[in-house]
Copies of this chain bind each other. A is one copy, B any other.
Amino acid sequence: MIGKDPIRDFGEKKLIEMIIKKSESFQTDDKNFLRSHIGDDAGIVAIGNKYLVLSSDMLIEKHHFPKEMTYYQRGFKSVTSNLSDIAGMGAYPIGILISLALPKNLCINEFNDLMNGILEACSFYNSPLIGGDTNEGDELVISGTGIGVSDDENVLMQYGFKNGDLIAISGEIGLSSIGFEILNQGLEKTKKRLIDEGLSSKFIDKSVSKILSPIAKVNEGLLLKESNMITSATDITDGLSAELHQLHNSSNKYSKKSENLGFLIYEDKIPSIAIIKKIAIFLDKDYQDLIFNFGEDFELLFTINSNKFNEFKDYFKDEEYYIIGEVNQSNKIQLSLSNGEIEDIKLKGYEHFK
């Protein structure tokens, strides 16, 4: 690593690793209220008899907001994105702080729409806006911090799963990437083309809605946490592949015993896999990329204690979820294809800077 190299040569994951490593050497000893490893979905801090769950997320015009997204949708999404991390830990959101960098040529109507989106989302998640900052910037930046609480320390962490546990997601994945591609290729004409090819307009609309108006699974996260049947969880913001790798790394780093744990995902268990494969061809995309390597799904990825699965099915019967695989002892993250072949799910992720 040479000092004068630009950070674009390193990629976001590498930079975050550097930050984590650096911050560990700087941590003071007397901070015994700190209960988390930096790098999990959120920081956990013991305050009196409660546990505070804190997470920051920054959205930037060019990278996080398709141009078709209204300012209302941008505002709403910024709250969703911050509270999704709180949901991923199964904490109860109590508020959010939002700082804005606003280009000076933004119209007052657009500003109003943006604020309405932020505040409607706060109201939707019952999580008030409790602070923030506004500044002039070259581009729109919405930087938030979500605040959650938990009555006990057993929030959902990214590690803790065991051999045999079931891997589940809280909703369909890949839709946001499909929605993004449809917008990218021109909404009206692409939609028309896909419908002409026999694809359901409902699925197309759902995909576009998923990218423009995503919702954080806050109540689902709370239910999962309260069940005591969940052995790990995270929200899917960086793509399913990146999140599986993240759980795997966390387990290797923080779980008490290493058991060569690995994941096997079954392609045929991915919801709507047939439609996704079909639409991928028409959009000229790799279907695995659509499913695994695009962020912004805002679904929860979690593992269920295999001994409690019958109980879980009853407990979670009114909620949407899909079992997509299982924890094994392969020490690998793999995909079982429809044809029976097994291949590695590589970490491609969703990296800036590179």
Given A27-B128, A97-B43, A97-B145, decide whether A133 and B57 contact each other with a Cβ distance below 8 A: yes
Given A50-B47, A108-B6, decide whether A126 and B28 contact each other with a Cβ distance below 8 A: yes
Chain B residues near A108 (CB, 8 Å)? 1-7, 9-10
Q: Are A107 and B58 in contact (CB under 8 A)?
A: no
Chain B residues near A57 (CB, 8 Å)? 99, 133
Please count how many residues in chain A sit with their CB below 8 Å of the partner chain's CB atoms.
84
Find A130's partner among B1, B19, B38, B143 (CB 8 Å cutoff): B38
Q: Are A107 and B6 in contact (CB under 8 A)?
A: yes
Interface string of A40-68 (1 = CB under 8 A from B): 00110101111010111110101100000
Residue of B nearest to A33 (CB): B94
Given A28-B128, A141-B137, decide whether A54 and B97 contact each other with a Cβ distance below 8 A: yes
Chain B residues near A47 (CB, 8 Å)? 47-48, 50, 52, 94, 149
Chain A residues with a Cβ under 8 A of chain B: 1-10, 12, 15-16, 18-19, 22-23, 26-28, 30-31, 33-34, 36, 38, 42-43, 45, 47-50, 52, 54-58, 60, 62-63, 94-95, 97-102, 104-109, 111-112, 115-116, 119-120, 122-123, 126, 128-139, 141, 143, 145, 147, 149, 352-353
A-B contact pairs, 25 of them (CB 8 A): A3-B108, A5-B108, A8-B136, A18-B115, A26-B128, A27-B128, A28-B128, A36-B130, A45-B94, A47-B50, A47-B52, A48-B50, A50-B50, A52-B147, A54-B97, A54-B145, A57-B133, A58-B99, A58-B101, A60-B135, A63-B136, A102-B353, A131-B145, A138-B139, A145-B145
